[in-house]
A and B are shown apart, each in its own frame.
Chain A
Amino acid sequence: MTITAIQEEIIDEFALFDDWMQRYEYMIELGKSLPLINEQYKTDEYIIKGCQSKVWVHAEMQEGKVVFTADSDAIITKGIIAILIRVYSNQTPAAIIEANTAFIDEIGLKEHLSPTRANGLLSMLKQLKMYALAFQAKG
């Protein structure tokens, strides 16, 4: 599936909910299916700065695609990174770099996009794209 298709799928899912509570509950639910990072990578090297909670992200190339795994010590943050990974994992570096992020607004998480927001959604997005850039540069 392309990034755009996955984004649309997520937008459709979130549209099923009437209020923020249900959306948050769903997000927490999604966090439970996050592909977990190997414990050995839960170090400062893989931590994303700019979050009040801890978020670790690992990336590796598998058959030309970037595969992300992650974890967080906070449940909501875990849900957010799970959504991002669902969108960006198993995609080529070029597709990740080009992808736009408007879907975050559409699923009602816009408030989390502010650069000062303590969960650092913006930092997470940046980090995923940095990994993609690095892999692309390596060729």
Chain B
Amino acid sequence: MLDIAKIRADFPILSRKVNGHPLVYFDNAATSQTPTQVIDCIVNYYQHYNANIHRGVHTLSQEATDAYEYARDVICRHFNAKHREEIIFTSGTTHGINLVANGYVSLLNKGDEVIVSALEHHSNIVPWQMLCEKTGAKLKVIPMTDAGELDYAAYKNLVSENTKLVFVNHVSNALGTINPIKEIIELAHTYNAEVLIDGAQAAPHIQADVQALDVDYYVVSAHKMCGPTGVGVLYGKKASLEKLPPYQGGGEMIDQVTFEKTTYAGLPHKFEAGTPNICGGIAFGRAIEYLHEIGFDEIAQYEDELLQYATQELLKIEGLKIYGTAPEKTAVISFNIEGLHPYDIGTIVDKLGIAVRTGHHCAQPIMDYYKIPGTVRASFSFYNTKEEIDDLVKAVKRAKIMLA
């Protein structure tokens, strides 16, 4: 059992007020809040050992390098990567995806195929469109079902000898659907296609074991895992990362430079050009440790309780419809009320101190599928409570009366 009161005390932001009401933060799928342990880690870095890494011989530089590389080890263990150099620090999930997509420009030929899913964040579709434009490869889309799940049967028909890469999110940001990535990866591998999984939405709830999944690439962002913004990780199998060309040129990523020829550094530095987000990387490691101190199993169990409770209570509101009803879901509820615009509901609910997301959640293809302009999305974290869900339900009812 989690001690929620004690956990909440770790998050200073949860005690602030918004529009005169205690903050109820239900936009965790957009970004998670930061515990004191991580904030302290950031402050400690700037107060005590702020320095550039991997070059200085002085003490501060050595301490900063050690802390940064320690974070890499923490992240490596968390994802059960085989080698620490398979963990590449990035600026976030989008950076990780672009790094792989860009590398694939030199690996694809006309007639090759890339498969993406209809459940993607639409910004994630763009790198693959660009990749296909550059290479003449074809982009294929796995359709979704009414419940907001991937149509696995359709995927089976799409994948073939021509498939070179499959890109799917582990959890859909708009609907919370947990995708059957193990099966998707297995099937892709029978055709020798590689698989990149966007783990951004899954990472705060599910501890992915990259070796058990046998996934080729897995990308996450720290800010959805109680860490800071602007930092993330690309996991890649060593052999996969080795065949990708460097993404950006700069310091750190080189071995020898002359004007005639540059030889590149080995992994992971080949992909870490320039001075990285040192503090961010260190704090990301601390955030993962913090999540482990709470316990991933406990987090998943408690968040599922919140999800079940919120689903049950929200559905009592007449005219309320939940989008995404897959049996395997993280704690995300996307909903609308018949006859009302999600934006109107979100505005009233915000006035009552409750942070939810409204709009298309950067997943326009999903909204198009349901033929709606968007939804109200409430996403829960382990520091939320059932009482806060009661507040949400009350606020939605109030909005409904006001807007009727």
The answer to whether A73 touches B402, judged by C-beta atoms less than 8 angstroms apart, is no
Nearest chain B CB to A82's CB is how many angstroms away? 14
Q: How far is A73 from B158 in the complex, measured between Cα atoms in Å?
A: 38
The answer to whether B347 touches A119, judged by C-beta atoms less than 8 angstroms apart, is yes
Chain A residues whose CB sits within 8 angstroms of the CB of B344 once the complex forms: 53, 74-77
The reply on A1 being an interface residue by CB < 8 A is: no
Residue of A nearest to B339 (CB): A75
Residue of A nearest to B351 (CB): A20
Chain A residues whose CB sits within 8 angstroms of the CB of B340 once the complex forms: 75
Q: How far is A77 from B373 in the complex, measured between Cα atoms in Å?
A: 14
Nearest chain A CB to B77's CB is how many angstroms away? 38
The reply on B341 being an interface residue by CB < 8 A is: yes
Q: How far is A76 from B343 in the complex, measured between Cα atoms in Å?
A: 8
The answer to whether A20 touches B341, judged by C-beta atoms less than 8 angstroms apart, is no
Chain B residues whose CB sits within 8 angstroms of the CB of A59 once the complex forms: none
Nearest chain B CB to A29's CB is how many angstroms away? 11
CB-CB contacts below 8 Å: A57-90 with B: 73-77
The reply on B359 being an interface residue by CB < 8 A is: yes
Residue of B nearest to A79 (CB): B344
- Count the A residues whose beta carbon is within 8 Å of the partner chain — how many? 15
The 9 A-B pairs at the shortest CB distance, nearest first, are namely A74-B341, A53-B343, A52-B343, A74-B343, A52-B359, A75-B344, A74-B344, A76-B344, A76-B347
The answer to whether A28 touches B351, judged by C-beta atoms less than 8 angstroms apart, is no
A73 and B359 in contact (CB under 8 A), knowing A24-B348, A25-B402, A53-B343? no
Chain A residues whose CB sits within 8 angstroms of the CB of B358 once the complex forms: 52, 118
Chain A residues whose CB sits within 8 angstroms of the CB of B373 once the complex forms: 53-54, 73
Q: How far is A130 from B172 in the complex, measured between Cα atoms in Å?
A: 40
Nearest chain A CB to B14's CB is how many angstroms away? 22
- Most B CB contacts (10 A, CB to CB) among A21, A74, A119 go to A74
Some 13 contacts from A to B, beta carbons below 8 A apart, are A24-B351, A25-B402, A28-B402, A52-B343, A53-B373, A73-B341, A73-B373, A74-B341, A76-B343, A76-B344, A77-B341, A118-B358, A118-B359
A75 and B351 in contact (CB under 8 A), knowing A54-B373, A118-B343, A118-B358? no
Chain A residues whose CB sits within 8 angstroms of the CB of B402 once the complex forms: 21, 24-25, 28
Chain B residues whose CB sits within 8 angstroms of the CB of A119 once the complex forms: 343, 347
A52 and B403 in contact (CB under 8 A), knowing A20-B351, A74-B343, A76-B347? no
Chain A residues whose CB sits within 8 angstroms of the CB of B359 once the complex forms: 52, 118
Chain A residues whose CB sits within 8 angstroms of the CB of B143 once the complex forms: none
A20 and B19 in contact (CB under 8 A), knowing A73-B373, A118-B359? yes
The reply on B374 being an interface residue by CB < 8 A is: yes
Chain B residues whose CB sits within 8 angstroms of the CB of A118 once the complex forms: 343, 358-359
CB-CB contacts below 8 Å: B317-352 with A: 340-344, 347-348, 351
Write the B368-379 contact mask toward A (1 if CB under 8 angstroms, else 0): 000001100000
Q: Beyond A53-B373, A75-B344, list 7 extra A-B contacts (CB 8 Å).
A: A24-B351, A52-B358, A53-B341, A73-B341, A76-B348, A118-B343, A119-B343
Q: How far is A25 from B402 in the complex, measured between Cα atoms in Å?
A: 7
CB-CB contacts below 8 Å: A1-53 with B: 20-21, 24-25, 28, 52-53
Nearest chain B CB to A80's CB is how many angstroms away? 10
Chain B residues whose CB sits within 8 angstroms of the CB of A75 once the complex forms: 340-341, 344, 403
Q: How far is A25 from B358 in the complex, measured between Cα atoms in Å?
A: 20
Q: How far is A134 from B359 in the complex, measured between Cα atoms in Å?
A: 32
Nearest chain A CB to B27's CB is how many angstroms away? 13
CB-CB contacts below 8 Å: B363-393 with A: 373-374
- Most A CB contacts (10 A, CB to CB) among B19, B342, B402 go to B402
Chain B residues whose CB sits within 8 angstroms of the CB of A52 once the complex forms: 342-343, 358-359, 374
Chain A residues whose CB sits within 8 angstroms of the CB of B19 once the complex forms: 20
Residue of A nearest to B398 (CB): A21
Chain B residues whose CB sits within 8 angstroms of the CB of A28 once the complex forms: 402-403
Chain B residues whose CB sits within 8 angstroms of the CB of A53 once the complex forms: 341, 343-344, 373
CB-CB contacts below 8 Å: A81-139 with B: 118-119
Residue of B nearest to A74 (CB): B341
- Most B CB contacts (10 A, CB to CB) among A20, A21, A24, A75 go to A75
Residue of A nearest to B350 (CB): A111
Q: How far is A93 from B341 in the complex, measured between Cα atoms in Å?
A: 33
